[in-house]
Chains A and B, each alone.
Chain A
Amino acid sequence: MRRFLERSLKAAFPIIIGYIALGLPCGILSNAAGMSVLQVALLSLILYSGSGQYMIASLWLSGLNPLSIVAAVAMVNLRQLLYASSLLQYLKRSRRLSAIIAAVNVTDESFGVNIARFQQGSWTTHLSFAVNCWSQLAWIVSNIIGALIGSMVNIDTGIAAFAITAIFTCLLLMQKGRGDFVLAATAAAVVVAICNFCDLSNISIIVGAVAGIIVGSISRTRFQGEGNASESGDF
């Protein structure tokens, strides 16, 4: 048990740093948008979505009606469909109920950390769920602290958000460097940039990711031959 907690906590450690950096300003912003500490805690516990909670706070501040806020958050979080599909092959080794529970509190970051460990082997459904829970705990606590200190401190959201960008960059560079993977990544990035500049930022991540998956799948046959040669070579 102790070993289990240690392994999962070690894997979750970078996420915890990132979530403290991002959770504090999220709590502060939510508080500034008129949410009580209890409301911030409930959002972090039940919704548990960084991008979702930032959107709710800033869209509510801008005076958007609740149903439009819901639609925007639902669209942004559609990308979760991809994470669940990707984790499926590893989670389905466990019983169905365990697999579903391990999918309940997956985030961009915990998906990344868990999928990297699954790919290396020796990672389990239970360990991945533990990583998700450590991450959520860090998120809830830092959001509550952020809401409590409110406007007493001024944290630069740009700097805090860059902690998460660094995590995604590291995760990206840990992927295989084979040609079809590079093409998939390039296509995804280009489509996201185009979507964001065309005022489609709500759906840019899922559209970009799907474009990358399609490009990767199409180009697969061309690069499969070199697969064994550069299997371990990264970007």
Chain B
Amino acid sequence: MPWIDFWIILSLTALCTLLSRILPVALFANRELPASVMSSLEYIPVAAFAALVANDLFTPEVLLAGLLPAALPFIALVPVVVVALKTKSMALCIVVGVATFAFLQWAIAVLHIGM
């Protein structure tokens, strides 16, 4: 990538991202927030994680990919949910999730060749 394009992209994306990261803290670190705002903040983690999971599952490509590839992450998520509820271990969730996902992908490929 030419350096001029690179610097434009890096400096501006980094600036916007940095502002998003620090502005709320920089502006409100010294202030008391109203109780109504504080109670709404409580929902940020759950809403954000649900949004991030949904964003990974319902990608725009899913519509084009066909039923089986689209269903793959949903199926692979089942053992992840079980492990998460039982152990609360993120590392274990990664291992189980990736292993199931890879196996299913391999199985689908084999089935396709078989047909």
Is A140 in contact with chain B by the CB < 8 A criterion? no
Q: How far is the CB of B59 from chain A (nearest CB, A)?
A: 6
Contact A201 B25 (CB under 8 A): no
Chain A residues numbered 164-217 whose CB sits less than 8 Å from any CB in chain B: 164-176, 180-181, 184-193, 196-197, 199, 201, 204-206, 208-213, 216-217
Contact B55 A184 (CB under 8 A): no
Is A106 in contact with chain B by the CB < 8 A criterion? yes
- With contacts A17-B91, A83-B48, A88-B41 taken as known, whether A96 is within 8 angstroms of B98 at the C-beta atoms is no
Is B12 in contact with chain A by the CB < 8 A criterion? yes
Q: How far is the CB of A72 from chain B (nearest CB, A)?
A: 9
Contact A166 B94 (CB under 8 A): yes
Contact A47 B21 (CB under 8 A): no
Q: Point out the residue from A43, A80, A185, A191 that lies within 8 Å of B21, measured CB to CB.
A: A80
Is A28 in contact with chain B by the CB < 8 A criterion? no
Chain B residues numbered 14-35 whose CB sits less than 8 Å from any CB in chain A: 14, 16-18, 20-26, 28-30, 33
Is A4 in contact with chain B by the CB < 8 A criterion? no
Q: When chains A and B are docked, how far (Å) is the Cα of A179 from the Cα of B42?
A: 14
- With contacts A66-B9, A99-B29, A165-B97 taken as known, whether A192 is within 8 angstroms of B55 at the C-beta atoms is yes
User: Chain A residues in contact with chain B, CB under 8 A?
Assistant: 13-14, 17-18, 21, 33-36, 39, 42-43, 46-49, 52, 56, 60, 66-67, 69-70, 73-74, 77-89, 91-92, 96, 99-100, 102-106, 108, 111-113, 115-116, 119, 156, 158-159, 161-176, 180-181, 184-193, 196-197, 199, 201, 204-206, 208-213, 216-217, 220, 234-235
**Can you list 24 residue pairs at the A/B interface with Cβ under 8 Å?**
A14-B91, A46-B10, A69-B13, A73-B16, A77-B20, A81-B23, A84-B25, A86-B48, A99-B25, A103-B24, A111-B48, A159-B98, A163-B97, A165-B57, A166-B93, A169-B97, A189-B51, A192-B50, A193-B54, A208-B47, A210-B47, A216-B40, A216-B46, A217-B39
